[in-house]
Amino acid sequence: MINFNNYIRAIRARGNYTFTFQQAIKELNISEDSLKCGMYKLKKKGEVVSPVKGFYIVIPPEYQILGCLPAEELIPLLMEHWNIEYYACLLSAALYYGAAHQKPQVFQVMTIKQLRPLVCGKVRINFLYKKSLTNVPLRKITVKTGYLHVSTPEATVMDLLMYVHQAGGLNHVATVLSELIESVDLDKMLEILRGSKEKAWIQRLGYILEHIDPLESEKRDKLIALVFDFLKTQHFGLIPLASELSTIDMPKNNRNQKNRWNIIENTTIESDI
């Protein structure tokens, strides 16, 4: 009789957390039905979970109450299995720089494929889509299961302004920026600005920076100057602060010192900090 507990212990003894359905059939030399039966029993005991079809993860005792590995440990394994480029983004990335304000309930991951949200036990993961991740600067964060790819502070700033709705709205973005700018390198931020084909997020960034009051006010002022000096060399049009809100009866001033970001103020910025 097959001892499936011995099998998952052997998986962990090799320093691994995962195995596939076909791998287990081959290594145990059993039928599909026998493996399904064995895995069902291990799932019921909370020792194994299958976040996606045909892919199994061995859950250490300390995580069995969670019903899965933590998202930051699950993602490197899952993305290696799928062979997909990715990085932790938005509020999940900001968390690594002490700027999430509060721990997000959903882990956010940027990929080059459109994927459905994933629920694994108590762990929730949302996937965002970007056509290419080639030029996005990343950091590797060491986790128990390997390395987690995370957007740099500068790339995180860009994503927060480009995916405002997924980041909790403009006010929440402003709150996160109040803390995130402490980690921003000005030279690297300039590289992000120069590499971006879109200007609207840069205009909104400049505007929001002028309407927050972070602890690092000197750093904020330097960042405002950087963004403004960059935009002076660019052609950019008049845009609403909140793209989803009406601009009817809102003042549409041409760019000048008072409205140097060329923003239609169709909402207000209220940071929680």
φ/ψ of 263, rounded to 5, equals -110, 135
98 close to 177: Cβ distance less than 8 angstroms:
no
3-state secondary structure 5-51: HHHHHHHHHCCCCEEEHHHHHHHHCCCHHHHHHHHHHHHHCCCEEEE
Which pairing describes strands 48-52 and 55-58: parallel, antiparallel, or unpaired? antiparallel
**Is the confidence at residue 204, as pLDDT, over 80?**
yes
**Is the confidence at residue 243, as pLDDT, over 90?**
no
Class at the top of the CATH hierarchy for domain 4-63 = mainly alpha
Where do the domains of the chain lie?
Answer: 4-63, 71-233
Instruction: Report pLDDT digits (tens) over 79-138.
Output: 999 999 999 999 999 999 988 667 788 999 999 999 999 999 999 999 999 999 999 999
